Amino acid sequence: MRLHLSVHNRRPGAKCQRSPALTLSGGVLWVAIWALFGPLAWLVAGPAEVRAQAPQPLQSLPQSVPAADSVVAHVNGEEIRQSDIFRMLQQLPEEVRNIPQSQLFTLLLERAVDRILVIDAARKSGLAEDPVIRARVKAAEDDVLWAVFLERQVQENLTENLVRRAYDRLSREAAEEEVKARHILLASEEDARAVIRDLEGGAEFMAVVREKSIGPSRESGGDLGYFSRSQMVEEFSAAAFAMNEGEFSKEPVKTQFGYHVILLENRRRAEAPSLQEAMPQIQQEVTREVLTEVLGALRKGADIEVVGAGGQLMRPGARKP
């Protein structure tokens, strides 16, 4: 699990406001840690002395966990390996990774040494037994268990048949017929019939849209772009897909939004995406499907009792109203 630290941005040239009392509150403490160990501090601080025996800096940092995970330093008998440096590298922002690789390796190694020394000091001080720390460790452990368990469930159930079934479904939906249409939205059937008479008399469709439509697409000439049957309300789709290209509706089309006069401009059948193109969406759908099944099965065998503040969130220790 990664611990993400953030510092709020301020406007260039803006003055920093000092706190009236500098205390080791949560925010101040994290800012202090960021200043000591954060990536930006590495750019301005001189290299600290590393007393551990370290090899010559690598010419380039590994782009993946090294196969030969060699030891790069010892600190009070504890090893620092290349994989430790790689994990630290992965947590850096992109702009920091542009530092020359040999220099970046040295900085990462120094921070790894500092981290071990701080953790050792914290354990010797008894901090690991602090109730607040134990609660936070338990919460972190629970987060990891939650994430890894569900991730593995998805991986185990992400079968080729499931992926293929999802792709076939997406392909059918993507290959649906689409039409391109414009419309004039009116408040009453009488107004819609008057517009139809104007169009039959030779009025230009887009001119009538801009003059009489009450819909949000008025300024774009009533353009709705391409859409499939499922993307519009049933009454509108039924009328639009029954028309021929270049034809406008001879009867008002009533929907929940009002009365429409539709102009059908074009038809097409969308091209189905390749499996590779569809994979991100497939993974989302299959993941959602698998998790729904897993969580549903867990709930069936669980004893769940919901108690609390009547549906309202309360801060711990807050008094009930």
Q: E strand or H helix at 84, and its extent?
A: helix 82-90
Q: Is the pLDDT of residue 316 over 50?
A: yes
> Residue 179, SS3?
strand
Average pLDDT of the chain, as a whole number: 78
| Cβ proximity of 237 and 262 under 8 Å | no
CA 132, CA 312: separation in Å to the nearest integer?
26
CA 205, CA 271: separation in Å to the nearest integer?
30
CA 83, CA 105: separation in Å to the nearest integer?
12
Residues 110-133 have a mean pLDDT of 94
Which residues have a Cβ under 8 Å from the Cβ of 76 and sit 6 or more positions away? 116, 117, 120
Q: Which of 274, 269, 249, 268 is nearest to 259 (CA)?
A: 249
Q: Which of 187, 190, 188, 223 is nearest to 205 (CA)?
A: 223
Q: In whole angstroms, how far apart are CA 61 and each of 149, 202, 231?
A: 31, 72, 50
Q: E strand or H helix at 255, and its extent?
A: strand 253-255
| Cβ proximity of 92 and 39 under 8 Å | yes
| Cβ proximity of 189 and 254 under 8 Å | yes
Q: What is the per-residue pLDDT for 254?
A: 96
pLDDT digits (tens, 9 = 90+) for 272-307: 788 888 888 888 888 888 899 999 999 998 888 887
CA 119, CA 50: separation in Å to the nearest integer?
16
In total, the chain counts a number of residues equal to 321
Under the phi-then-psi rule, with left for phi > 0, alpha for psi from -120 to 50, and beta for the rest, what region is 221? Answer: left
Q: What is the per-residue pLDDT for 3?
A: 31
Q: Is the pTM of this model over 0.75?
A: no
Residue 73's Cβ-count burial label (10 Å; 0-12, 13-18, 19+) is: buried
Q: Is the pLDDT of residue 44 over 70?
A: no
> Residue 121, SS3?
helix
Which position has the higher pLDDT, 264 or 96?
264
Q: Which of 183, 165, 182, 173 is nearest to 269 (CA)?
A: 173
CA 253, CA 192: separation in Å to the nearest integer?
9
| Cβ proximity of 264 and 245 under 8 Å | yes
Structural domains of the chain, with CATH: 28-125 (no CATH), 177-269 (3.10.50.40)
Q: Is the pLDDT of residue 225 over 60?
A: yes
